[in-house]
């Protein structure tokens, strides 16, 4: 059998090789999203659950306030919009914090001796041996008013009274940063590891300063790793609920916590929670599509 016939047979059976992957994607990715989409257009059942009757009440509740009895002219519901906005800027700040720490960390690891790089990567991933819930509870124990951090600062006279860190935006930021920092380090490390350091040497020979080399030589080359890290941190941070629930309070309520509340207990509103989930998914998909479109335009130039 010739090489041409073998290639045609392989191409013809390619879709069969992908069939198991399509089944897995359909069951574990598309089916849950489709179910949330369907639930968002159903009617709430009084004791929890849904009534299979088409309704736009969930989306109307999210965007409009019609008063206690629903008989007032519609006004924008700033409560849920404000929660969404808080989630976006909290996720954005967590992404920036992870980038500021993750980039130097990834650069440090990538520039070590090849024999020691695996050890450093091992140390970065150690926290992920423990469940996220346990790590978040441990962070709460660490920074609480009577926790080890305050006890240490008080014992050395650095502070006169315990720092009120719990139930603050700072605590939520700390929790998000601690939870998703490795997601920033690993993609950037992979990009830096493939970087040709002779480019930096050539730029230095042309009298370019360190910041010029970083801005004009290094960052454009490792940009794919930085973008991948930012996406991997921003997206899960946007829908996080453990850090806001355990480390924050009512003033730090995020969209992930709002969605969780709608599916918990008998008083939940499943259609509203599904609608909030679909709105969150739409925002994330729009951001990713805009980035992908701009990236394609850059590559086409």
Dihedral-angle region of residue 253 (phi above 0 means left; psi in -120 to 50 means alpha; beta otherwise): beta
Nearest-5° Cα angle at 166, 162 to 172: 140
- The pLDDT score that the predictor gives to residue 156 is 85
pLDDT at res. 40? 93
The pLDDT profile of the chain, 301 residues, written as one tens digit per residue, is: 455 555 555 555 666 777 888 888 888 888 889 999 999 999 988 777 788 999 999 998 888 887 766 677 888 888 888 899 999 999 999 999 999 999 999 999 999 988 888 899 999 888 888 888 898 999 999 998 888 998 988 888 888 888 888 888 899 999 999 999 999 999 999 999 999 889 998 998 888 888 999 999 999 999 999 999 999 999 999 989 889 988 987 778 899 888 888 888 666 789 999 999 999 999 888 888 888 887 777 666 6
Buried b (16+ CB within 10 A) or exposed e, 60-86: bbbeebeeeeeeeeeeeeeebeebbeb
50-51 and 64-65 strand pairing: unpaired
Rounded to 10 degrees, the C-alpha dihedral 174/247/63/282 comes to 50
- The residue whose two tokens read 């920092």 is 181
What are the tokens at 32? 């849950």
**Using CA atoms, how far apart are residues 294 and 47, in angstroms rounded to an integer?**
47
What is the pTM (predicted TM-score) of this model? Answer: 0.85
The total number of residues written for the chain in this structure: 301
CATH classification code of 78-268:
1.10.3720.10
Residue 215 contacts by C-beta under 8 Å, 6 or more apart in sequence? none
Q: Which DSSP category does 42 fall into?
A: S
Q: Which two tokens stand for residue 291?
A: 């980035």
Domain ranges of the chain: 78-268
From residue 75, how far is each of 64, 83, 93 by CA, in Å?
A: 5, 17, 30
Element at 189 (helix H, strand E) = helix 169-193
CB 189 within 8 Å of CB 158: no
Q: So what's the pLDDT on residue 266?
A: 63
């Amino acid at each position: 059998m010739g090489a041409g016939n073998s290639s045609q047979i392989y191409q013809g059976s390619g879709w069969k090789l992908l069939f198991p992957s399509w089944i897995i994607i359909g069951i574990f990715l598309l089916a849950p999203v489709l179910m949330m989409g369907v639930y968002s257009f159903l009617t709430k059942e009084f004791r929890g659950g849904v009534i299979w009757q088409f309704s736009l009440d969930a989306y109307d509740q999210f965007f409009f306030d019609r008063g206690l009895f629903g008989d007032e002219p519609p006004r924008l519901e700033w409560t849920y919009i404000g929660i969404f906005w808080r989630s976006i800027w909290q996720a954005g700040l967590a992404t920036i914090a992870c980038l500021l720490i993750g980039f130097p960390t990834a650069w440090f690891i990538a520039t070590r001796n090849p024999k020691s790089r695996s050890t450093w990567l091992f140390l970065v991933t150690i926290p992920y041996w423990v469940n996220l819930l346990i790590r978040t509870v441990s962070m709460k124990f660490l920074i609480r008013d009577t926790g080890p951090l305050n006890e240490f600062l008080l014992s050395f006279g650095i502070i006169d009274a315990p720092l009120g860190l719990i139930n603050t935006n700072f605590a939520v930021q700390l929790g998000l940063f601690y939870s998703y920092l490795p997601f920033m380090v690993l993609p950037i490390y992979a990009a830096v590891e493939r970087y040709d350091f002779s480019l930096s040497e050539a730029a230095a020979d042309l009298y370019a300063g360190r910041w010029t080399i970083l801005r004009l030589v290094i960052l454009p080359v490792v940009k794919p790793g930085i973008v991948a890290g930012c996406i991997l941190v921003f997206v899960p941070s946007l829908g996080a609920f453990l850090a806001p629930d355990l480390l924050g309070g009512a003033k730090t309520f995020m969209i992930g916590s709002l969605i969780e509340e709608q599916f918990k207990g008998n008083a939940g509103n499943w259609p509203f929670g599904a609608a909030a989930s679909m709105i969150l998914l739409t925002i994330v998909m729009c951001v990713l599509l805009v980035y992908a479109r701009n990236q394609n335009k850059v590559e086409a130039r």
